[in-house]
Structure formats: structure tokens, C-alpha cells
Amino acid sequence: MPFGCGNCGSAIPNLSYPRVPGHEVIGRIEEVGPGVTAWKVDQRVGVGFFGGEDGTCEACRRGETAYCQNAIMTGITTDGGYAETMIAEARALALIPDALKSEDAAPWYVPA
């Protein structure tokens, strides 16, 4: 999906290359994975820096998913919005209304 996205440019420890940067991504769904029922092709969605948790580490088992030891981080642990296409966890998506302009919805807007 083509994106508008942000990239903070901060130094990220333990970043493994090659990696496509860019978080706070807005785009359209091109395909949904098996078992995904809440999302449909062509919906306009966004995903932030925090792209999901593993659900198995000690912090997640305590219900503190913001402290996940194996968090999915868009543009850090998975390729981000500067890619032509990217994969995002369905649970990390937010619906973005078509009426909302991308430059108003994304913290930093990069026209696709």
C-alpha cells in the first residue's frame, strides 16, 4: 500500500540492517491475512511506532504490553512506511477516515 509516514530520525539502539525506516504510517490495505475479519481491502488505516506485542514475555503476561520485551516496532523491528509496501499487525491498525487529509492525520507527512 502506498503510504504517508513519519520517521523521527533518532538513534535506535540494536537496529538490525537492512531495515526500511518510517513509523506513524498511513495507507490503504491491499490484502488481509488469514483469520483477519475486522479489516477489509482498500480501508484507509494507520499504524504507529508500537506495532504490537508478543503476548508471551513477562511484561505481557502481567498485562503491561507497553513494556513488551519483544515488541513489534514499525521501522525498527519490521520494515516501515518508506517501503513500497509493508506488513502490519491487524491488532495495531487504526481506521483513518477518508475525509481526513493525510497531512492532518500523520505527525510528519511524506506524499506517496
Model pTM? Answer: 0.75
Higher-confidence position of 60 and 80? 60
Question: Is 103 within 8 Å of 35 (Cβ atoms)?
Answer: no
Output the CA torsion 17→26→90→15 (10° steps).
Answer: 20
CA 94 to chain centre: 9
Q: Which ranges of 49-91 does DSSP label H, i.e. alpha helix?
A: 58-61
β partners of residue 26: 4, 46
pLDDT of res. 1: 41
Domain ranges in the chain are 1-7+17-30+43-99
Q: Is the pLDDT of residue 33 over 50?
A: yes
Q: Which CATH number fits domain 1-7+17-30+43-99: 3.30.540.10, 3.90.180.10, 3.40.50.300, 3.20.20.70?
A: 3.90.180.10
